[in-house]
Structures are given as C-alpha cells and as structure tokens.
A = this chain, B = another copy of it.
Amino acid sequence: MLARRRHDEIVKILRLDGMVRVSTLAVALGVSEMTVRRDLETLSSSGIVEKFHGGASLVGRPTTEEPGFDVKRTMQTDVKESIAEKAAARVRPGSSVGLTAGTTTWMLAKYLDVRPLTVVTNSISVAEVLYPMASPTLDVVLTGGVRTPSDALVGPVAVASLSSLHIDVLFMGVHGMTERAGFTTPNLMEAETNRAFIRGAAELVVVADHTKFGVTGLSTICPLESADSLIIDAELDEAALQLLRSEIPDVELVRPEPTESPERKQFNDPKPFDVTGVA
C-alpha cells in the first residue's frame, strides 16, 4: 500500500473514531508500527493529526478538514462555531429538528448531543456528521433530491419528502438577509426546498454570521419576519440589529469565545479501537 493512501486511510479512520492507537493502525493497514509512526510523523508535521504516546488524534477542534462543499472559505469559522454551539443548546430532548445545508448547520450537527432526537436534513454532509453518532435514540432522516454545488439536496423529490415530515425546530442557514429581500440564497431550487422545510416546521431559527446582513441572493426564501429566532454574532452593527429586532421576536447575539481547546480527549485514555468492527 502506498504511503499516500495510508495517510488518507488514517485520516479517514480518525474521522470515524477521534483517536487510534499505533498498534491498531499497524494491523489495520498491514504495515509495521514503525511505518505507522513515520506516517503519523508526516501527518503531524503537516498539522493534520496530533501525536501522543500510544496513538494519535485529529488535531485540535472538530475536523480542520474542511467540509469540501464550502469552497468559498469565507472564514468566520470561529464565529460560526460559536453560533452553532449556541443554537445546539436550544435543542430539547425528544424533539425533532431540521437542518438545512450550510456550513453553520454542518457545525451545528456536531454539537447536537441531546437524546432522544430526530434530525431531518437535506445536506449529505450534515447527515454524514450524524451517522457515526446514530443510535436507537438518534434518528437521522435525509431528504432526497438532486445535489446543488453547495451540497443541498433540492428539487421535487426533496420537497415531496419534506411535505410529509413535521419537525419542531428548523435551523436554517442563509446566504444573505436584507430588509427588502428577506432571507435569500443564490439557488432557486434551494429556496423552494427551504420553504418546504419551513412549512413543516413549528419554529424557525435562522443561524447566520454578521457578514450575511445586507447581502441579497438571487432567490428569496422567506421574509425576515417569518423567523421566530435569529442567532447571529455580535459584530453586527447597531442599525442592523435595530432592524432585525423589529422584525424578529428573538434575536440572540453571540460573541465568539476567546478560543477554546476544550474537551479534546486526554491522552491517557487510549480507548481501544477496532477498525474491522465498524458496522
């Protein structure tokens, strides 16, 4: 097996399980431990993984590996992360939530830790974040459809799926919001799909960072006042905030945490990991 392929394989395994032992990788990849160490050394100096005695984990926060779909590295990652975290805190056990496609909702998915929970999404990336966590108390429903470049499943199939589903809270990411155009997205079909999403939702929570304000996408999803809540970062200027508050009952301001490298697992607990046993 080629070195390069091993590297990809290692990252893939780490995505599934957060951490691996060197010995496990050696068996899984069919090479000696020394080779695994050298691979980890390489990945480590590229900043991809973090080595520790006995194994390695993905570096720092949840996946530095971008969700390939977010080509426009608009950054704001920390901001979005904070917004996502705050949004996730609103989810109540036993409810069913919807997540549209988007970077923020993708991050949100990672913070969903209440159970039982049902999640409906039209984003493959979001679904893939949740699948490894799936359990009898976590249902993940993917709507069908055709995929847009931004990784949303849209179109008649998506709309039809959504029209038969009813969710408690919909978390929706948007590409832009203005007073006149409301919440917008560049993609016509995505707008339509999101409207179908909204129709089936008891509550609409929009998640967005401040750079979205004043931006108008091609297609309107819904007017501002359709949102029950908006979670946005505090960089927003005063006038904008005024306006948003006048249209939306509940505007929650989030200020990015001053960096956290919080609950990264500690190394003295190398949980054994069996690659072959992945169901």
Q: Taking beta carbons and an 8 Å cutoff, which residues of A are in contact with B?
A: 1-5, 8-9, 11-12, 19, 21, 52-55, 57, 60, 62-64, 68, 71, 124, 127-128, 131, 134, 139-147, 149, 153, 155-158, 160-161, 164-165, 263, 275-276, 278-279
Contact = CB atoms under 8 A, between A and B. Distances in A.
Contact of A147 (B8, B127, B145): B127
B5 A263 contact: yes
Contact of A144 (B11, B19, B134, B144): B144
B161 A63 contact: no
Contacts of A155: 141
Judged by DSSP, the binding face of A is: mixed
Nearest to A164: B160
Contacts of A131: 147
A141 B8 CA distance: 28
B127 A63 contact: no
Nearest to A11: B62
A93 B220 CA distance: 36
Contacts of A263: 1, 5
Given A2-B53, A12-B64, A141-B155, 19 more contacts: A1-B263, A2-B54, A3-B52, A4-B53, A4-B55, A4-B57, A5-B63, A8-B62, A8-B64, A11-B62, A124-B124, A139-B146, A140-B146, A142-B153, A143-B144, A144-B145, A157-B165, A160-B161, A160-B164
Contact of A63 (B8, B128, B144): B8
Contacts of A165: 157
A87 to B, nearest CB: 23
Count of this chain's copies in the oligomeric assembly: 2
Most chain B beta-carbon contacts within 10 A, residue among A144, A160, A161, A165: A144
B52 A2 contact: yes
A55 B2 CA distance: 8
Contacts of A127: 124, 147
Nearest to A16: B68
Contacts of A1: 263
Nearest to A141: B146
A134 B5 CA distance: 25
Which of A141, A155, A278 has the most CB atoms of chain B within a 10 A radius of its CB? A141
A149 to B, nearest CB: 5
Given A2-B63, A5-B64, A53-B2, A161 B147 contact: no
Q: By CB atoms of chain B within 10 A, which of A3, A68, A155 has the most?
A: A68
